[in-house]
Structure 1
Amino acid sequence: MSDVRQYAKEVSDWIDEIMAYLERIDITDSTVLANIERLSQWTNDLVAEEIDYENMVLIEEEMARVYEEIEEIARDLSTQQRQTQSVPIGKHTLPPLPYAYNALEPTISEEIMYLHHDKHHQTYVDGLNKAELMMKNARETKDYSLLKHWEKEAAFHGSGHYLHTIFWEGMIPRGGGQPKGDLLKQIEKDFGSFAAFKNHFSEAAKQVEGVGWAILVWVPRARKLEILQSELHMILTQWDTIPVLVLDVWEHAYYLQYKNNRASYVDKWWDVVNWPQTALRFTEAKKLTWKQQ
């Protein structure tokens, strides 16, 4: 297969992933769909090898524009949902992946993504729902004899559910590189440079004792970014901080592919980081203002 045809296939696969995502979130915006259709036609021309390198650059720019349009639509939809909906007790649901199971290959395999999302994350959703319902029952019956157990279950499974949701959103096919704008400026201010931040975050992930997470958080009271570790889903974290970027280093996140080489998994994970989504979380987190301590 020629380089042009291989590139065309990658673009076509990306278009299929985007269309599947739009269908999942029920978006039919005519402008976005028209731009995707134009991009698809350019890809067909690529297959016929009728486009030169300069046109391939134009395709990359169009892909970036389409992605930005979809990000804006998703942000608006998310804001509307937050403003109008709350989750009833015991009714949490598994959020769909914003991409196909194989979309993050070769960094993360399709098999891992399926098991991690559909099996492991679902377990945390189920555990949180059960804990909430049991605590509701305790309030209604005034029988608090097992409350300590169910509070622990809610902390463990709830943290697992919420961190995994951030984890999926924090990755994207053809991601990586480094952030731009305000997020990059804040990283440089708080860590000295992006390279220093990346090294610090990677080492935090590699050195989590047992299983857990590396977490970049915004600290509203200090007005700065910090890097934390969490054992399990909820131990060693700080209160009153907002997760901005998270990396799962439980063995189920990488073992089938990387065996016991967590370091290799961490190093390659940077290739799929979704910096636009991370920047959005950072922007929203900064809106929370407390008195500095």
Structure 2
Amino acid sequence: MSFALPSLLYDYAALEPHIDALTMQIHHTKHHGTYINNLNGAIQGEHGGSLKGLSLEAICRNVNSAPEAVRTTVRNNSGGHWNHTFFWTIMAPSGTAASAPSGALKNAIESQFGSVDSFKDQFNKAAAGRFGSGWAWLCMNQNKQLFITSTPNQDNPLMSGIAEKPGLPILGLDVWEHAYYLKYQNRRPEYIAAWWNVVNWDTVAKYYDEASSGKAPVLDVPLQ
């Protein structure tokens, strides 16, 4: 069995005008698809035996234990697969999901950051300030406190021994140029500001509840 590209829950054009259809199509089929193909190649190759049968989450969590010959490939591409699978789920067309956090999630954000607006400001700074390619994250630590962090390339906070601030992600933003360059060119802050219009707060709340129970986001990771 090998990993397969997950289907989106919305059309490529559904996030317009905030994220354009062509970017979504290329991002999903080409970029995400390439991470999956590379990961499958590493697992199925001569050095990937110990990785066969592991879940995507388990591979990310234990990437430092991957065989040295494929460790960098596995790190980059398992992260790329998990990060994008997660990313698609925390977006939705405007008007189809909660447009702001509420309930326990809102209370936690306000408790940790002072207000939702203050949280967004701090998250925006982490996303805009990530040098080069990477991600910005809202996570929960082992003390059930929320925190903001960013990671380079396709690293994520699940990666033990790699992430500067490990935790359970509940929200994440891709700030690689391929996520926004066709529409926003070098205007990353404009992309970040527009992205809040398509955040699926219902799903973020679900991931918050899962993290509160000590679980990473439960993602649909198809196999073929």
| The two structures share one fold, judged by TM-score above 0.5 | yes
**Where does residue 150 of structure 2 map in the other structure?**
229
Normalising by structure 2, report the TM-score.
Answer: 0.81
**Where does residue 26 of structure 2 map in the other structure?**
115
Letter in 2 for 1:101: Y
Distance 2:211 2:166 in 1: 11
Deviation of 1:222 after TM superposition, in Å, equals 1.9
More helix by share: 1
2:92 to 160, 168, 172: 172
**Where does residue 54 of structure 2 map in the other structure?**
none
Contact 2:99-2:200 within 8 A present in 1 as well: no
**Where does residue 212 of structure 2 map in the other structure?**
286
Distance 2:69 2:98 in 1: 41
**Where does residue 136 of structure 1 map in the other structure?**
48
Q: What is the root-mean-square deviation of aligned Cα atoms in Å?
A: 2.1
The 1:176–1:247 alpha-carbon spacing in structure 2 relative to 1, beyond 3 Å, is farther
Q: Which runs of 5 or more structure 2 residues have no equivalent in the other structure? A: 52-65, 157-161, 216-224
SS in 2 for 1:276: helix
For 1:200-279, what aligned pairs fall within 5 Å after superposition? Answer: 200-219=122-141, 221-234=142-155, 237-238=163-164, 240-279=166-205
Distance 2:50 2:193 in 1: 46
**Where does residue 71 of structure 2 map in the other structure?**
151
Distance 1:97 1:251 in 2: 21
**Where does residue 118 of structure 2 map in the other structure?**
196
Identity over the aligned pairs, expressed in percent? Answer: 38
Distance 1:136 1:168 in 2: 28
Deviation of 1:149 after TM superposition, in Å, equals 3.5
The C-alpha deviation readout for 1:52-91, integer Å capped at 9, x for no partner, is xxxxxxxxxxxxxxxxxxxxxxxxxxxxxxxxxxxx4xx1
The C-alpha deviation readout for 1:114-155, integer Å capped at 9, x for no partner, is 00001000011111111112233589xxxxxx9424011111
Aligned length: 194
Letter in 1 for 2:87: F
Larger gyration radius, structure 1 or structure 2:
1
Q: Which runs of 5 or more structure 1 residues have no equivalent in the other structure? A: 1-87, 140-145
Distance 1:281 1:122 in 2: 24
